[in-house]
């Protein structure tokens, strides 16, 4: 073989080998870095841009796509110990011309974390209102979406700032009493009785605990490699002390039933989406909301757990779009007149 041709193959092979080796090294040695790169790439692929907004010296980190138009903007509030990128699986199935905003909740990811902040559900709702005013999202009423803890905050927000929103989607929201204890609540009781409350199932510190949390939150059984589990834990461990503090704040008497205490004040059309096999928050909460909110549309998803956004992203996106289309249909507008 011609030496020049051989050299070309060697150079080409070396060029290809470098990124492959880098990927393998990242996967084996720094899985948490790989997870961050994954979210960065996914945001770019979906056209989501990251920005910061400031209220005095308080920083909010958020991502957005599109611009306000004739359809309502959509603001999405994530759950406990998550971040704005958890919505990417749903963003994938939403129109690119729809104005979407996903914000890191107080103390999470790129949003300010302060020991002096009020992390009760009401306090978080107040912070989200500050964010909304910062980016002037409430120039026109917007559609608010929240899941789990974020659903609790979204419901309280709708009750406290009704002029800001035109409609509401609550996905497996926290903040409701339940006649049936979920698996998660039973685990908490057992830990409390054994005085091991520091081992909260939603705050994993090992790959094994992370695997258990995923099984608790999902009906669908995802096969997650050990290295990815390690990466997910590595990303979370620096924040676990904050998560424990936050968890104790949102389950105390001031916040535990915040949504239930405020749901009679929710006057906007409301959509409730819940996984039938939710092991974290019992699906019976959907009936409570339906009985208290006059214009409430309930959707129970079969073969789905607490992580509705991850397990059924296409279905969830379609339900939100169908709900918004219904609210702006001539028949519905005439009916409400």
Assign residue 231 the CATH number of its domain: 3.40.50.1820
Which residue shows structure tokens 């290295």? 227
Catalytic (active site) residue 257? no
User: Which CA distances in Å does 236 have to 109, 204, 219, 241, 306?
Assistant: 10, 8, 22, 10, 20
Higher-confidence residue of 155 and 18: namely 155
Quick one: tokens of 256? 């535990």
- Confidence (pLDDT) at 192: 75
pLDDT value at 196 more than 70: no
For residue 269, tell me if it sits in a domain: yes
Q: Is the pTM of this model over 0.85?
A: yes
User: Which CA distances in Å does 108 have to 124, 239, 254?
Assistant: 11, 9, 21
CA dihedral of 225, 231, 232, 237, whole degrees rounded to 10: 140
Catalytic (active site) residue 306? yes
pLDDT value at 333 more than 80: no
- Confidence (pLDDT) at 328: 86
Catalytic (active site) residue 278? yes
For residue 9, tell me if it sits in a domain: no
CA dihedral of 104, 109, 112, 115, whole degrees rounded to 10: 120
Residue of 120, 278, 282, 307 marked active site: 278
For residue 196, tell me if it sits in a domain: yes
Mean pLDDT for 154-159 is: 98
**Tell me: the pLDDT tens digits for 80-108?**
999 999 999 999 999 999 999 999 999 99
Question: 254: domain range?
Answer: 47-336
Instruction: Look at residues 154, 94, 96 and name the one whose alpha carbon lies nearest to residue 124.
Output: 154
For residue 12, tell me if it sits in a domain: no
For residue 21, tell me if it sits in a domain: no
pLDDT value at 20 more than 50: no
Helix (H) or strand (E) holding 128: helix 121-134
**Tell me: the pLDDT tens digits for 129-141?**
999 999 999 999 9
How sure is the predictor about 228, in pLDDT bands with cuts at 50, 70 and 90?
confident
**Tell me: the pLDDT tens digits for 236-252?**
999 999 999 999 999 98
How sure is the predictor about 163, in pLDDT bands with cuts at 50, 70 and 90?
very high
Using CA of residue 157, residue 84, residue 103, residue 115, what is the dihedral sign? positive
Residue of 78, 99, 297, 306 marked active site: 306
Residue of 148, 167, 218, 307 marked active site: 148
Q: For the chain, what is the mean pLDDT?
A: 89
**Tell me: the pLDDT tens digits for 255-300?**
999 999 999 999 999 999 999 999 999 999 999 999 999 999 999 9
User: Which CA distances in Å does 307 have to 74, 178, 217?
Assistant: 20, 19, 6
> No. of H helices and E strands in the chain?
14, 8
For residue 187, tell me if it sits in a domain: yes
Neighbours of 41 (CB within 10 A): 10
For residue 209, tell me if it sits in a domain: yes
For residue 4, tell me if it sits in a domain: no
Q: How many domains does the chain have?
A: 1
Tabulate helix, strand, coil % of the chain (nearest 5): 50, 15, 35
pLDDT value at 330 more than 50: yes
């Amino acid at each position: 073989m011609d030496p020049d041709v051989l050299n070309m193959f060697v150079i080409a092979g070396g060029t290809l080998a470098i990124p492959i080796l880098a990927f393998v090294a990242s996967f084996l040695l720094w899985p948490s870095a790989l997870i961050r790169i994954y979210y960065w790439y996914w945001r770019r692929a979906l056209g989501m841009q990251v920005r910061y907004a400031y209220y005095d010296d308080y920083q909010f980190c958020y991502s957005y796509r599109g611009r306000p138009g004739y359809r309502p903007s959509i603001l999405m509030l994530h759950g406990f110990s998550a971040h704005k990128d958890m919505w990417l699986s749903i963003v994938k199935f939403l129109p690119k011309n729809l104005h979407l905003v996903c914000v890191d909740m107080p103390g999470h990811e790129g949003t300010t974390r302060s020991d002096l902040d009020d992390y009760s559900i009401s306090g978080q709702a107040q912070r989200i209102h500050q964010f909304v005013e910062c980016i002037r999202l409430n120039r026109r009423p917007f559609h608010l979406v929240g899941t789990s803890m974020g659903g609790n905050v979204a419901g309280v927000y709708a009750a406290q700032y009704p002029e800001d929103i035109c409609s509401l989607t609550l996905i497996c929201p926290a903040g409701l009493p339940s006649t049936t204890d979920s698996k998660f609540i039973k685990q908490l009781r057992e830990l409390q009785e054994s005085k091991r409350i520091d081992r909260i199932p939603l705050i994993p510190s090992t790959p094994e605990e992370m695997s258990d949390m995923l099984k608790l939150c999902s009906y669908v059984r995802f096969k997650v490699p050990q290295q990815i589990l390690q990466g997910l834990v590595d990303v979370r461990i620096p924040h676990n002390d904050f998560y424990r503090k936050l968890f104790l704040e949102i389950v105390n008497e001031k916040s535990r039933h915040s949504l239930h205490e405020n749901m009679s004040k929710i006057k906007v059309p409301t959509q409730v989406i819940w996984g039938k096999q939710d092991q974290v928050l019992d699906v019976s909460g959907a009936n409570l909301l339906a009985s208290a909110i006059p214009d409430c549309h309930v959707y129970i998803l079969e073969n789905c757990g607490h992580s509705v956004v991850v397990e059924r992203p296409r279905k969830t996106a379609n339900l939100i779009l169908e709900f918004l289309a219904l609210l702006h249909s001539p028949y519905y507008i005439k009916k409400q007149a």
